[in-house]
Structure 1
Amino acid sequence: MMQILTDDLLEAVRGRAAGYDRDNAFFTEDLDDLKSAGYLTALVPKELGGAGLTLRETAREQGRLAAAAPATALAVNMHHVWTGVALFLHRRRDHSLDWLLEEAAAGEVFGFGYSEAGNDLVLLGSRTQARPDGAGGYTFHGSKIFTSGSPAWTRLGVLGRDDTSPDGPVLVHAFVTRDGGGFEILDDWDTVGMRASQSRSTVLDGAPAPADRVLRRLAPGPSLDPYVLGIFTTFEILLAAVYTGIADRALELAVEATERRTSMKTGKALSQDPDIRWRVADAALRLDAIWPQVDHVARGIDDLDDRGAAWFRATAGLKVRATETARYVVDQAIRASGGSSYFSSSELGRLYRDVLAGIFHPSDDESAHATIAQSLLGPLE
């Protein structure tokens, strides 16, 4: 399995994570190091100037990065989502996003501007207005939240709704550029965890997307368009990998803590306490099931499996299982490690705050259950 991230790079990233979290600062130095290592081209094919990793390999690398610095991994995820979508299409003979792969190889950084407050439709609808510019392009007007990597993106994928079409409303998927203007990034990221991601709100006020950067115009609602399928599957798989990486690190810290701490009752390390041993083992028991699932689902994308709508069930379920398992593992690790993890200087305490963000990413628990129920029972009548 190919790797880009060296142990030295990961240790440097880990060494900065606590400071970024404490200062609520963007991961500037991490990003510079990751760029220099060629990591932002992980999913760009070699023939287009990239590293040529598969989605499965990149998911594993994202897990390793998340174990060192969760917020850095989460923000980089959004760039990888777009290169992953472009690769998804490229390998299925749709070259409409080849320009994105080429620009990523040239150093452009991609952000994900789809999330909106109160919009539980996610890819199926939008509160943002997409207004035709008369030349085949659009301007976008609305507010996006959780725009990870806000200080650094140079290209932002956006979704808006055009209600002016004579054929009925359409959802417009397009890209705007940082130097194109028409937007404001708010300084409003002061959160419990994932602080270095600086996932600030973005107010679109006429941000332009020319005709050649309008990728899809689709009817609102469910779609099996490869562009939508590529977004959904890549997003869910890479999110699952990030949170599983957090769980990996939490378990590692729990083992270190139980071997280091001793019991006054017995004089032995807590790793010899049957209750503590059960707790650590139970965390590992659950965690051991997740990476094989990530590998299996990602390999299906890499192998061009044609599952149609079944991909939504497979990847939504993976994301929920991974994030919920990660929360459980971190919780067990804290219980096994003791009160020192409650201090703000504790890495495990920081992971406890960071892992909470997993419940807010789509697909959330309710949405995943609805997707799976529909696959089994059909749509609600």
Structure 2
Amino acid sequence: MTAESLLSADLLARIHSRAAGHDRENTFFDDDLAELAAAGYLRLFVPVALGGSGATLETAVALQRRLAAAAPATALAVNMHLVWTAVAARLSAHGDDSLDFVLREAADGEVFGFGISEAGNDLMLFGSTTAAVPESDGGYRFTGRKIFTSMSPAWTRLGTMGLDSTSADAPKIVYAFLDRGDPGVSALDDWDTLGMRASQSRTTVFDGARASADRVVRRFAPGPHADPLVFGIFAAFEILLSSVYTGIADRALELAVEAAHRRTSAKLGRPLAHDPDVRRRIAAAAIALDALGPQLTGLARDVDSDVDHGAFWFARLSALKVRATETAKDVVEASVRVAGGSSYFAGDELGRLYRDVLAGLFQPSSDDSAHGTMATAWLGPVPDGAPG
């Protein structure tokens, strides 16, 4: 089976049929996950030799865009598993076997969560408020809180990071993987949000959670870092995240077109699809959305092909995320305007997409950090002590 065939029309239709119920009841997408796993979707980046599809990032972008159009929260949460497997596959292809266990375990059915975000920590991959305390055998114990941990009910392995401030060469950022069954790991039942409800991205609490030495995969100084792990995480996260929000915009525009043909203007006595203002609104949304596809696939292809963008890599990746989420928000809003007041009722799909798309505002990179990264790429860093 090819990677492109993993999401059949029937599977997407079943996933789509469940999305509204999960949103209404604030429940996790257990059935979606089971069907995606059975189809081999969670092995998307796993090498063929291990039973996976060995997909490229470019292929994954197209698939996640389709999945998000069917069920945004399902696609967003599955992203987190795909990020780790994408990073592991990329490192392995470049001769780094430090995450090969991720590929082997994903092939065996383990589900990986993404335990990176912390409340108030805008350093993201380059700093942490979670304590990472070293042990004599090379393992670490983590104490702290991670927010927005998607797939909280289902992940079995959690990739995370913390700050080692006690070793002789401290401070060091430590990346490691934890097991679900560790007694020092717990998840709060605190996910009751405006949108993306089925993702169940609950707060994860570490209380001395232990990563064994063979699950400690990186240790380096805080701050911006060129380590391939950091680049791999950032590239996969930003590109796959952007594909999800582009998929939301795809579906919103589709619903707007349906509404324009379905609704009739009492003033004009003809379908809204013939109204020049509606036509212009849909055209403007389509023009904005049309620009996202080439950038998404282009950057994914560049990652797959190891194109060297030098100092502009992080700037272009963060710019893609901001452009995708902001464009998606604008497209959904335009679609709501076309559909009219019916989209304001609870249970309407466009109303749900309107709530879901807002989650992009809170996910990295932020608008401010993307502009700062782009400014640094073009102008260089601001010298210490300079006003600004």
Report the TM-score range of the alignment, normalised by the length of the smaller protein: over 0.9
In the aligned structure 2, how far is the partner of 1:346 from the partner of 1:264? 23
Q: C-alpha separation between the residues in 2 aligned to 1:160 and 1:168?
A: 12
- State which of 7, 10, 30 in structure 2 corresponds to 1:8: 10
> 2:345 maps to what in 1?
343
1:327 aligns with 2:329: yes
- TM-score, structure 1 as length reference: 0.99
Cα separation, 1, equivalents of 2:49 and 2:98: 17
Superposition deviation, residue 45 in structure 1: 1.4
Query: How many angstroms apart in 1 are the aligned matches of 2:4 and 2:204?
Result: 35
| Cα deviations by residue, 1:37-85 (Å, 9 ceiling, x for unpaired) | 0000011111222112111101110000000000000000000000011
Conserved in 1, the CA contact under 8 Å of 2:312 and 2:374? no
CA distance in 1, matches of 2:241, 2:341: 29
Deviation at residue 265 of structure 1 after TM alignment: 1.4
Q: How many residues of Structure 1 are paired with residues of Structure 2 in the alignment? A: 381
- Which whole-Å deviations, capped at 9, do the CAs of 1:87-145 have from their partners, x for residues lacking one? 12112111111111111011000000000000000001000000012110101000000
Superposition TM-score, scaled by structure 2 size: 0.97
1:101 has 2:103 as partner: yes
Is the aligned partner of 1:190 residue 2:204?
no
Check the 8 A contact 2:4/2:63 in 1, yes or no. Answer: no
1:137 aligns with 139
Give the share of equivalent positions with the same residue, in percent: 62
In structure 2, C-alpha distance between the alignment counterparts of 1:322 and 1:57, rounded to whole Å: 18
- Quote the offset at 1:309 in angstroms: 3.4
Separation in 2 of the partners of 1:181 and 1:310?
42
Partner of 1:65: 67
C-alpha contact 1:3 1:61 (8 A) present in aligned 2: no
Contact 1:115 1:144 in 2 (8 A): yes
Structure 1 equivalent of residue 284 of structure 2 = 282
* Alpha-carbon distance between aligned partners in 1 of 2:311 and 2:94, rounded to the nearest angstrom: 17
Aligned-partner residue type, residue 304 of structure 1: D
Match of 2:386 in 1: none
1:148 to partner: Cα distance = 0.3
Contact residue 112 and residue 147 of structure 1 kept, 8 A? yes
Aligned residue runs from structure 1 range 51-130, under 5 A = 51-130=53-132
1:163 aligns with 165
> Which amino acid in 2 is paired with 1:42?
L
How big is each residue's C-alpha offset from its partner over 1:350-374, in whole Å with a ceiling of 9 and x where there is no partner? 0000000001111010110010000
**Root-mean-square deviation (CA), in Å?**
0.9
3-state SS of the aligned residue for 2:53? Answer: coil
Q: Which residue does the alignment assign to 2:48?
A: 46
Are the counterparts in 2 of residues 157 and 173 from structure 1 also a CA contact under 8 Å?
A: yes
Partner in structure 2 of residue 173 of structure 1: 175
Task: Find the counterpart in structure 1 of residue 244 from structure 2.
Answer: 242
The structure 1 residue matched to 2:229, chosen from 227, 241, 253, is 227
